[in-house]
Structure 1
Amino acid sequence: MTATPQGNASIGVVLTLDGSRTTTTDDSSRYRFDSVAVGDHEVRPSKTGSTFSPSSRAVKITDADIPNVDFAQTSTAIPADSVHLVRIPAGTFMMGCDGTFLCDATAQPRHRVTLTRSFLIGSTEVTQAVWEKVMPINNSEIVGPNFPVTNIPYDSITAFCNRLSVLHGLRPVYSGLGKNTNVDRTANGYRLPTQAEWEYAAGAGSTSAISGIPDPVPGSDREPYYKEVDKVAWSRGVTQGANGPRAQPVAQLRPNAWGLFDCHGNVSERTEGEAYPYTTEDKVDPDYLPYISRAVVKGGCNGLRDKVESSISMWSRVGELLKDAPYYVGFRIARTE
């Protein structure tokens, strides 16, 4: 006889049958015991940092496989409040730029975007401390618990989001891989912010290139402006490592008006959506899907030198291959309310 229990336990949960045989949930959070004898049995789940309800289940095998032996998992390793999210209200804003200060061609033309639903977004980039509680490997070049996690391809980010969603009892957003990834907009789980959501949240109502800092007057001395930017952004190579400018721990500088840290500088951030060209047409909840090959990263990084460059403006957009895992790119999470 074969028992095939299928449940909502998370990835990496160990299931013990009758106190001796064990198996582990797979990437789909499923588990299986083969060749189970007819009779009464007990299944007990376990995972470091989690509790389960019930703590075990009785299973009676007759002459058929047994489906749906489920357990409700509560993570004690990743409390929900360890991932601090800021609520961003629905609204309309002007996305992109019109050829003025710190405006690249990829961010033009400026156009009106309406976001019809409020959403939640991380106050910081995802740290390595949070990443390591969910994922088995941390490939970040600069290592430290409060540093942003980097060196991660798109598929690893979506896997992280899905796993964290399951740990917090939310419905996962992603299925599929690479350019064939499906994004379920009805799900309440964690995901990348769309390009529009990121820019709206980073701007926090500001219309200047760097949120909350007026653009300099053309022809004026730029040094006072640069000093103001240094209060909100690691952006000019001001923190040197052995090999040059390096990332910094999150949330050390001044946040924007909506409480988001490091939107400008530190590490660039992956957003959801292909690097399609902008148009002048008004947009409502744009997602820039499906993918072709490149996801947009925004916000710039600390690898710049001497001056403030356009890549750290709130409207900048640079395409990175989905499979790439640069040392200067991280991400922050979002989710639909």
Structure 2
Amino acid sequence: MQHSYLKSSIGNSIQKSIQTSGTKPIKSTLHIFLFAVLSFQLVFSSGCGGDKKEVTTIEKASPEKVAEKSSKEAAEAKSSEGENIEHAQVKTEKPLPKTLKIDLGDGVKLELVKIKSGKFTMGQIGDQENEQPLREVTLTRDFFIGKYEVTQEEYKKIVGNNPSKHTPANSYQNTGKQPVESVARAEAAIFCNELSKRLGLTPCYRIIPGETLSETLVFWEDDGNGFRLPTEAEWEYCCRGGTPSKYFWGHEVNDQIANEYMWCKENACKSGWKEPHAEMSGTQPVGAKSANPWGLHDVYGNVAEWCWDTYTDDYTDLDGDPLIDPRGGSSSGYGVIRGGAYFFDAQHCYSARRLSCSPYDKDYSDHVGFRVVKEIWRSTLLPKKKSNMKAKEAGKDESGQTSQEKPLDLELGDGIQIGFVKIAPGKFSMGRKDGAADTKYVREVTIASGLLCGKHEVTQSQFEKIMGYNPSFYKSAEAKDLPVESVSWYEAVSFCNKLSQKAGLTPCYTDQNGDYDISQNDYIDCDWNASGYRLPTEAEWEYCCRAGTTTTYYWGDSDEKADLNKHTCWWGNSGYKMFQKGSGKPAKAGAFAPNPWGLYDMQGNVWEWCWDWYGHNYYSAGSDKDPKGPAGGNNRIVRGGGYDSGPQSLNPAYRYRQSFENYKDYSTGFRIVTSNDL
């Protein structure tokens, strides 16, 4: 797992800029609501053609006003279903707003446009070598992106200063509508964090100021749900606006087209002026030129825009085919800027054009600004809707009568069965003092209810019997007892529901419409009181893996090859070759001795999906009783290590995050649990 970070040169000025910002987070009970509910008002305004556009406005308010508003809305919720903010969001037939407006105060509003997830071809053949080779890219998450480049007045409103050189004092404009520039990449990250905190969101960046400009570190924390810079792939995807051509209007540019869509050398720089042109040379107010097909202004020209990524010479070494949510190259060196600037020739401002720029040298960045991104976390933005089907209580049938105890060997037919082990409630120490940063906080956790835990990882034959297909890479006639792998989190959840229905139990999982039929990219909710089968939580998984032990492995602390070979399938005995995906393979379920509670392959063989979203501070901030992970995120947790893992990954506390729930890997499978009151 790569830990993304960047170096930038802000030094002590970072702390100063935050201290002098003059902005304070809005504090109120609304912070416990969904982000979509946070001080939102749905506003419908007529477009130029009479069509209605859905706009979300985030209002600035004092803590007293917000608290008053919160109380009022809570009171109205019982009687005003159509007008109340919470109820307006709960209507699942209402799409997410296409435009997000954030009121920063004094008439300053930051606008963002909703972008759907999708696929596109990144790069351009025939121009610059650093735009090649062409790469197929998949972006798995919807997000909002700035409709305009961040302006000087917006930047000052959040951070408290304006670093721009093209300021009203030396520019003909006096509106603050010009894009902010002369910002280092870390200063852009500070803006994102401060904006996030102001709205009660978790910042995406962890910033460690350095003594000098080049010693400042910025880490991208995946459990942040706030604002951030776009990745290079996200930027180009948005710039293209769904078009494959060099420019979003076609393959050629002339003076007339350039003047319609961009501020460039021909109309914004005195040395290249043609008619018509701006009154004075330099950056120009945002939004003065026509938007691209997705409603974004100034993606070409005006100021070049920071992306998160570190610059690479080309796209050859980016890992993956297709690239899935790529974040660029290594974590040192030059940064990436996109879109061109006001002194660029029009022909050099196109969708794939990419340049390197020192991430901390502000003397040469008077043409560099940025726009922001806000990911749409399904767990925070998409509405929940309870199932319209009455769920059975665990262990009871529809009439409320106690049903037969769940079998320890569940028959699926054709001689295929799933075995379970009874797990009693209890307490254990979760985490590892000498582990990675996200596991070092050790705390006592209570598992309050009994479980039935799968004796083995779900096998290929079990999966195929329930789902009707086998996604595994290592499938063959002899592989039916191998654990299923190359299975996504969604497929694991869907398996749980279908198995529950086959067993006559109430499924645990519902989608955003309250249905049990799960599809890729659905919002998934879990009914923890349902009687069906589900994925374990991270805490349940570690509890079962440790099986009452406190050692590095359930067999002790030895990581000698002989001990590992005796107890688990890992890279030392699976035939796996480092960095050669598809080499080696998992062992048959139960080929190695079980842990003290009778569970097989909890350490090694295949990684196992858990329910939880990944949270960096989960161990220190989570609940001490039946923790279920963060409310939302970008990554789901897998545990246990696989046949391709070394000793460190086999530790019960070791955590790994997969890029998203539709991610598949040759070494990732799952096991299931269900409630069992003992």
Match of 2:63 in 1: 52
Structure 2 SS opposite 1:238 = helix
Does the CA contact (< 8 Å) of 2:232 and 2:327 recur in 1? Answer: yes
The 5-angstrom pairing of residues 154-193 of structure 1 reads 154-177=185-208, 180-193=217-230
Q: 1 or 2 for the larger relative contact order (CA 8 Å, sep ≥6)?
A: 1
The one of 147, 169, 180 aligned to 1:149: 180
Structure-2 separation of matches of 1:209 and 1:235: 17
How far residue 79 of structure 1 moved from its aligned partner, in angstroms, is: 8.9
Superposed displacement of residue 328, structure 1: 0.5
Please say which structure displays the higher CA radius of gyration. 2
Q: In the comparison of the two structures, how many residue pairs are matched?
A: 266
Task: Kindly state the Cα deviation for residue 134 of structure 1 after the two structures are TM-superposed.
Answer: 1.1
Q: Which of these residues, 286, 293, 300, is aligned with residue 264 of structure 1?
A: 300
- Per the alignment, do residues 54 and 227 of structure 1 end up closer, same or farther by CA in structure 2, a change over 3 Å counting? closer
1:113–1:282 CA contact under 8 A, matched in 2: yes
- 1:97–1:133 Cα change, 3 Å: same
- Aligned in 2, Cα 1:170/1:105: closer, same or farther, shift over 3 Å? same
Identity %: 29
- Tell whether 2:359 aligns with 1:322: yes
1:1-337 counterparts in 2 under 5 A?
Answer: 12=19, 51-52=62-63, 77-78=104-105, 82-99=109-126, 103-143=127-167, 144-177=175-208, 180-212=217-249, 214-216=250-252, 225-240=254-269, 245-276=281-312, 277-279=314-316, 281-288=321-328, 290-304=330-344, 307-310=345-348, 312-325=349-362, 326-337=365-376
Partner SS, residue 163 of structure 1: helix
Displacement, 1:308? Answer: 2.6
Conservation of the 8 A alpha-carbon contact between 2:108 and 2:153? no
Q: Deviations over 1:202-253 (max 9, x none)?
A: 10011122212x213xxxxxxx733212210111241246998411000001
**Whole-Å separation in 2 of the counterparts to 1:321 and 1:193:** 17
Aligned partners of 2:106 and 2:308: how far apart in 1?
25
Shift in Å, 1:132 = 0.9
| Residues 142/114 of structure 1: CA separation in 2 closer, same or farther (3 Å cut) | same
Q: 1:209 touches 1:215 (CA, 8 Å); kept in 2? A: yes
Query: In structure 2, do the counterparts of structure 1 residues 225 and 163 end up closer, same or farther at CA, with 3 Å as the change threshold?
Result: same
Q: For each residue in 1:254-294, what CA deviation from the matched residue of structure 2 results, as whole angstroms up to 9, or x when unmatched?
A: 10011000000111000111012302842000011542121
Give secondary structure in 2 for the equivalent of 1:230. helix
Deviation for aligned residue 1:50: 5.9
Mapped to 1, the partners of 2:358 and 2:118 lie a distance apart of 30
CA 1:91–1:54 in structure 2 vs 1: closer, same or farther (change >3 Å)? Answer: closer
Q: Tell me how far apart the structure 2 counterparts of residues 201 and 176 of structure 1 sit (CA, whole Å).
A: 27
Partners of 1:76 and 1:13 in 2: how far apart? 20
Please report how far the alpha carbon of residue 315 of structure 1 lies from its aligned counterpart in structure 2 after TM superposition.
0.6
Rate the CA distance shift 1:80–1:138 in 2: closer, same or farther, 3 A.
closer
Question: What is the identity, as a one-letter code, of the residue corresponding to 1:297?
Answer: I
How much does 1:180 deviate? 3.5
* Contact 2:246–2:352 (Cα < 8 Å) also in 1: yes
Distance 1:133 1:94, change over 3 A: same
Q: Distance in 1 between matches of 2:254 and 2:351?
A: 16
Give the structure with the larger strand fraction. Answer: 1
The whole-number CA distance in structure 1 between the counterparts of 2:248 and 2:287 is 16
The secondary structure found in structure 2 opposite 1:92 is strand
Q: CA deviation at 1:186?
A: 3.1
Return the alpha-carbon distance in structure 1 between the equivalents of residues 352 and 103 of structure 2: 38
Q: 1:102-138 CA distances to partner (integer Å, 9 max, x unpaired)? A: x211111111000011111000000011111111221
Q: Distance in 2 between matches of 1:13 and 1:107?
A: 40
Question: 189-198 or 80-89: which moved more?
Answer: 80-89
Distance in 2 (CA, whole Å) between partners of 1:76 and 1:111 is 38
Query: Does the aligned pair in 2 maintain the 1:180–1:291 contact within 8 Å?
Result: no
Q: Distance in 1 between matches of 2:103 and 2:265?
A: 40
CA gap of 1:54–1:262, structure 2 versus 1, over 3 A, is closer
Q: Is the 8 A contact 1:80 1:168 kept in 2?
A: no
Shift of the 296–173 alpha-carbon distance from structure 1 to 2, 3 Å rule, reads same
Check whether the contact 2:196–2:227 (CA below 8 A) recurs between aligned residues: yes
Structure 2 letter corresponding to 1:192: L
Amino acid of the structure 2 residue aligned with 1:215: H
Aligned-CA RMSD value: 3.3
The code of the aligned residue for 1:104 comes to: Q
- 1:108–1:137 distance in 2 versus 1, CA, 3 Å: same
1:120 maps to a residue whose letter is F
Contact 1:179–1:322 at 8 Å: present in 2 too?
Answer: no
Structure with greater helix share of residues = 2
